[in-house]
């Protein structure tokens, strides 16, 4: 997550530099050389935090052409150049703009001005909770329905295969998945529920040398499709160390922002468990199974889905330990 400050006056620049000393980040002045619109277009992307030191109107006009979807928009805040108020105006929960408003306000003794209804009324915010628990959100159109029910004092039912530690917030109950409006799962769910996907799955991958990138991606996608496993649940890819520079594999991970974890044949052979075996693979790389062993080693957990082989690719999945709790505010 990167912070970018844009000021419009000398006083604003001084405050921006003060903030950057506390938080890190890049400081720019409008018109030197980029206009506010050009600056916004350059830095407005998921994961970035944009802070305008000036009027809300300028910020709104600057970001208007860039705003697309709450799941991909940058976090945007406005800070008056006197340093009195910090106002998150976009991506308050998913982009953490509300959190950054609180952080920046604490640094300079300002007032965070939050306008999201759940924050104003102290009501559980499911999207903010999901982010804090390292879960992706699918079927995000259902966020509004859940938040509206909670704001009206109505019940929202959750389903989770993992025990959620602590006391559920007001009007949150746990039930079976068929009755739930919010479901925690690494597997695909019906469109009518708000689906929260823990990022806890490691894909173990083996492949022949020189495999085409399209073929590798096709086989991994086939594995996910057959198991109805969400790509959003994948947090890493693991393989044997001799594949650490395999172009198709490194490109697949780079395009999806996933770390590629590699292990020696000796490390893989030491993994405890029952795995499928191939004498050909053992003669080639020194261990009889790569994908299942690599997945389990990287996840420090048990095999979730066994090997699927095809097209010169083997894929398996293991799951990390996951212990969610009901914490959702600082």
Q: What percent of the chain has pLDDT over 90?
A: 77
> Phi and psi dihedrals of 243, rounded to 5?
-105, 10
Taking a C-beta distance cutoff of 8 angstroms, is the pair 240, 264 a contact?
yes
CB atoms within 10 A of CB 65: 11
Taking a C-beta distance cutoff of 8 angstroms, is the pair 60, 77 a contact?
no
Between 79-88, 227-236, 249-258, 277-286, the lowest mean confidence (pLDDT) is in: 277-286
| pLDDT beyond 90 at 288 | no
**CA 36/CA 242 separation, integer angstroms:** 47
Taking a C-beta distance cutoff of 8 angstroms, is the pair 212, 248 a contact?
yes
The pLDDT of residue 268 = 94
Give the residue carrying structure tokens 């619109």: 37
Q: Quick one: CATH architecture of 2-115?
A: 3-Layer(aba) Sandwich (3.40)
Domains 2-115 and 122-198 share a fold: no
The pLDDT of residue 329 = 62
Question: What secondary structure, in 3-state letters, does 148-205 show?
Answer: HHHHCCCCEEEECCCCCECCCCCCEEECCHHHCCEEECCECCCCCCEEEEECCEEEEE
Fold of 201-319: Nucleotidyltransferase; domain 5 (3.30.420)
Spans of all domains in the chain: 2-115, 122-198, 201-319
CATH of 122-198, one of 3.30.750.24, 3.40.50.300, 2.70.150.10, 3.40.1390.40: 3.40.1390.40
Assessment of whether the complete model's pTM goes beyond 0.85 = no
Which tens digit of pLDDT belongs to each residue from 119-129? Answer: 778 889 998 89
Give the residue-averaged pLDDT of 28-51.
92
The pLDDT of residue 1 = 72
**CA 45/CA 74 separation, integer angstroms:** 5
The pLDDT of residue 330 = 55
The pLDDT of residue 283 = 81
Structure tokens belonging to residue 81: 């150049």
The pLDDT of residue 87 = 94
| pLDDT beyond 70 at 177 | no
| pLDDT beyond 60 at 97 | yes
């Amino acid at each position: 997550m990167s912070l970018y400050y844009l000021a419009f006056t000398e006083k604003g620049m001084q405050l921006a530099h003060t903030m950057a000393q506390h938080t890190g980040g890049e400081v720019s002045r409008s018109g030197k050389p980029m206009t506010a619109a050009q600056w916004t277009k350059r830095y407005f992307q998921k994961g970035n935090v944009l802070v305008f030191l000036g009027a809300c109107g300028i910020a709104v006009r600057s970001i208007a052409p860039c705003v697309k979807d709450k799941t991909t928009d940058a976090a945007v805040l406005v800070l008056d150049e006197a340093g009195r108020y910090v106002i998150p105006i976009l991506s308050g929960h998913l982009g953490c703009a509300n959190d950054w408003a609180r952080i920046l306000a604490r640094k300079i003794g300002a007032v965070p001005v939050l306008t999201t209804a759940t924050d104003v009324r102290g009501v559980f915010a499911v999207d903010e909770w999901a982010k804090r628990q390292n879960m992706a959100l699918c079927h995000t159109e259902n966020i509004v329905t859940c938040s509206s029910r909670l704001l009206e004092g109505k019940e929202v039912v959750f389903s989770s295969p993992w025990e959620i530690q602590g006391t559920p917030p007001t009007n949150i109950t746990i039930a079976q998945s068929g009755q739930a409006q919010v479901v925690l799962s690494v597997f695909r769910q019906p469109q009518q529920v708000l689906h929260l996907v823990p990022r806890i799955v490691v894909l173990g991958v083996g492949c022949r040398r020189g495999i085409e990138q399209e073929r590798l991606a096709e086989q991994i996608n086939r594995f996910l499709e057959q198991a109805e496993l969400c790509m959003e649940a994948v947090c890493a890819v693991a393989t044997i160390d001799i594949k650490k520079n395999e172009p198709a594999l490194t490109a697949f991970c780079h395009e999806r922002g996933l770390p590629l974890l590699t292990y020696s044949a000796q490390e893989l052979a030491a993994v405890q468990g029952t795995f499928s075996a191939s004498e050909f693979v053992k003669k080639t790389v020194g261990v009889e199974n790569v994908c299942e062993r690599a997945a389990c080693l990287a996840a420090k957990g048990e095999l979730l889905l066994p090997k699927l082989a095809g097209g010169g690719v083997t894929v398996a999945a293991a799951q990390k330990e996951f212990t969610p709790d009901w914490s959702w505010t600082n």
